[in-house]
């Protein structure tokens, strides 16, 4: 049962957060509210105290319910104005396209929430945050009274999140209600009045946003306590990766960094501090202008991913959907992608048997939960997808594993298992570089924390000696 007798209510002008792990029933609830699914007999929906029949999504649109999906459902090839006004145009059933009216309508809507974008620009030219604004405007223009946003902050920078929150506050001033799906406590605190927590299709409860803490929220969502002990400072002295005065124009400058055998190093800093660019340089995909990289004391000059892999460096990108996995392909084919040479048979053809052995090993080692190794990756949950990517890179036996924001967009329990994997890998002697946005992640799950700002390393700390508040302030100081 996807959803089991859940009560949910939202007031006029309220911002209400909906939280829960993957599979907790959030999506089902959203789909029922928006009329894509109909509830089982006995389930009822009321708008303004009036029961509405909810068989069709057009019904819910008429009641002013608008969903902004994670993919935003925009038309990249059309202008801002056309995107904003499209629902009203389709609804009006007029046969002609009136460009001036469309533009006016779009400008009016944008004014309502205090944003201004060039109505004639194509949406494909906009940033993700700007696209989100367009999606919100479209919802408002369709006379939304309730806007449902499905993890709207997943691909936004901190700054962009701030401006999204401003827009949501503006919606609130106009008495438009918002259901906001998010895992991030700081956002929830900043934007919501109340929080409904779902778990395994059941409602855990409704809470005031102010009474929640990270610990409590994790517990409510998973029913488990996640308590982490800080990792001790790293004590060994076998240097695996050393970077000396590495620079790249417009990216980063004079980076010095040492990573030891089995050490977990986190690099944190604001988005746009040069973290990812630096990491990509280590992986050969963004070659530096100056400076040196050593692996096991040997100088390397990786100018391609293949060079880096040969030197024993693996990189798991942040955007696993775009760069990390072939989504339509089965788990098995994804895992062996980096080691095709190793699974050749005697006559240089791919060996099914060797492939199975290799895949089986990693599926067990990382306890990837899959119906079968032939299941396409896009049918797995976010956490399991992340494990498949990691497996793929572990298959090359790396000395250094770089993880770019490994826990973005996955739920608490999946995060927990990723942390366990990272610790196990480190215990086996693999050095880990973890790029992270979250102060807590750096403090609890790495030995050493480097802080980057404006392309430079501005500090190196033993993670266990930092507190979240301190680190947060250090990151945002500049």
Partner 1 sequence: MRRSTRSNSGLRKVFGKSEFYLLLVIVVVSLFFTIMKPSFLTFTNIYGMVESNSFLAIMAAGVLVVLISGGIDISFTAIATVAQYVMATIVIQWGGNMFLAFAIGGVVGIGLGLVNALLIYFLRTPPIIVTIATMNLFYGLLIFISGGTWIYGFPMWFMERNLVRFGDSSGITIPILILVLSFILTWLILKYTALGRNIYAVGGNQEAARRVGISILKTQLFVYCYMGFLAGIASTVQANMMLTVAPNALMGRELEVLAAVVLGGASLAGGTGSILGTILGFGLIVIVQNGLTLLGISSYWHKVFVGAIIVISVGITAYQRKLREGKGAIINVEE
Q: Binding residues for partner 1, per CB under 8 A?
A: 57-58, 61, 73-78, 82, 86-87, 89-91, 93-97, 116, 118, 120-121, 249-253, 272-274, 276-277, 286, 453-456
DSSP 203: E
Half-sphere exposure for 166 (CA within 13 Å, toward CB): 12
Whose Cβ is closer to partner 1: residue 154's or residue 458's?
458
Give 283's contacts (C-beta < 8 A, 6+ positions apart): 302, 305, 308, 313, 314, 315, 402
Alpha-carbon span 306 to 277, nearest angstrom:
18
Shortest Cβ 235–partner 1 spacing (Å):
33
Whose Cβ is closer to partner 1: residue 123's or residue 198's?
123
Whose Cβ is closer to partner 1: residue 196's or residue 453's?
453
Whose Cβ is closer to partner 1: residue 143's or residue 342's?
143
Alpha-carbon span 282 to 399, nearest angstrom:
13
Phi, psi of 123 (to 5 degrees): -65, -30
Alpha-carbon span 146 to 181, nearest angstrom:
13
Q: What is the DSSP string of 17-47?
A: EEE--TTSSHHHHHHHHTTSSPPPTT--EEE
Shortest Cβ 314–partner 1 spacing (Å):
21
Shortest Cβ 438–partner 1 spacing (Å):
20
Whose Cβ is closer to partner 1: residue 189's or residue 458's?
458
Give 185's contacts (C-beta < 8 A, 6+ positions apart): 212, 213, 214, 217
Shortest Cβ 318–partner 1 spacing (Å):
13
Shortest Cβ 39–partner 1 spacing (Å):
20
Shortest Cβ 290–partner 1 spacing (Å):
12
Shortest Cβ 229–partner 1 spacing (Å):
35
User: 362 to each of 244, 366, 411, 421, how far by Cα in Å?
Assistant: 34, 6, 22, 12
Whose Cβ is closer to partner 1: residue 28's or residue 141's?
141
Whose Cβ is closer to partner 1: residue 27's or residue 453's?
453
Phi, psi of 155 (to 5 degrees): -115, 30
Q: Which run of H or E residues covers position 255?
A: strand 252-260
Shortest Cβ 277–partner 1 spacing (Å):
7
Whose Cβ is closer to partner 1: residue 58's or residue 229's?
58
């Amino acid at each position: 049962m996807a959803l089991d007798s859940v009560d949910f209510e939202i007031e006029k002008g309220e911002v209400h957060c909906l939280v829960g792990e993957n599979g907790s029933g959030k999506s089902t609830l959203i789909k029922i509210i928006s009329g894509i699914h109909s509830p089982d007999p006995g389930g009822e929906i009321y708008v303004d105290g009036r029961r509405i029949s909810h068989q069709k999504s057009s019904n819910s649109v008429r009641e002013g319910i608008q969903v902004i999906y994670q993919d935003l459902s925009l038309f990249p090839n059309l202008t801002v104005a056309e995107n904003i006004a499209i629902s009203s145009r389709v609804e009006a059933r007029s046969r002609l396209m009136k460009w001036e009216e469309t533009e006016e309508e779009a400008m009016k809507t944008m004014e309502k929430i205090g944003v201004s974008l060039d109505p004639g620009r194509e949406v494909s030219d906009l940033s993700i945050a700007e696209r989100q604004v367009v999606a919100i405007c479209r919802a408002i223009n369709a006379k939304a009274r309730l806007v449902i946003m499905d993890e709207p902050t997943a691909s936004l920078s901190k700054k962009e999140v701030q401006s999204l929150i401003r827009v949501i506050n503006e919606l609130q001033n106009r008495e438009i209600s918002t259901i906001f799906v998010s895992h991030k406590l700081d956002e929830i605190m900043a934007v919501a009045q109340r929080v409904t927590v779902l778990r395994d299709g059941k409602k855990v409860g409704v809470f005031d946003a102010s009474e929640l803490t990270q610990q409590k929220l994790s517990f409510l969502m998973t029913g488990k306590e996640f308590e982490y002990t800080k990792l001790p400072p790293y004590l060994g002295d076998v240097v695996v990766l050393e970077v000396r005065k590495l620079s790249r124009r417009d990216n980063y400058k004079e980076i010095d960094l040492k990573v030891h055998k089995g050490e977990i190093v986190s690099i944190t800093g604001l988005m746009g501090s040069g973290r990812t660019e630096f990491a990509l340089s280590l992986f050969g995909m963004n070659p530096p202008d100056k400076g040196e990289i050593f692996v096991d004391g040997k100088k390397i000059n990786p100018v391609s991913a293949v060079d880096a892999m040969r030197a024993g460096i693996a990189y798991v990108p942040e955007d696993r959907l775009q760069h990390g996995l072939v989504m339509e392909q089965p788990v098995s084919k994804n895992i062996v992608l980096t080691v095709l040479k190793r699974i050749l048979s005697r006559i240089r053809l791919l060996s099914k048997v060797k492939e199975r052995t290799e895949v089986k090993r990693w599926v067990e080692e990382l306890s990837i939960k899959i119906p079968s190794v032939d299941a396409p990756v896009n049918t797995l949950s976010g956490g399991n997808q992340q494990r498949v990517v990691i497996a793929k890179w572990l298959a090359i036996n790396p000395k250094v594993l770089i993880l770019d924001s490994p826990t973005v967009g996955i739920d608490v329990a999946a995060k927990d298992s990723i942390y366990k994997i990272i610790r196990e890998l480190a215990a086996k002697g693999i050095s880990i570089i973890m790029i992270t946005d979250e102060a807590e992640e750096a403090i609890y799950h790495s030995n050493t924390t480097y802080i980057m700002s404006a392309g430079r390393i501005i500090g190196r700390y033993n993670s266990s000696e930092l507190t979240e508040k301190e680190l947060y302030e250090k990151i945002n100081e500049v």
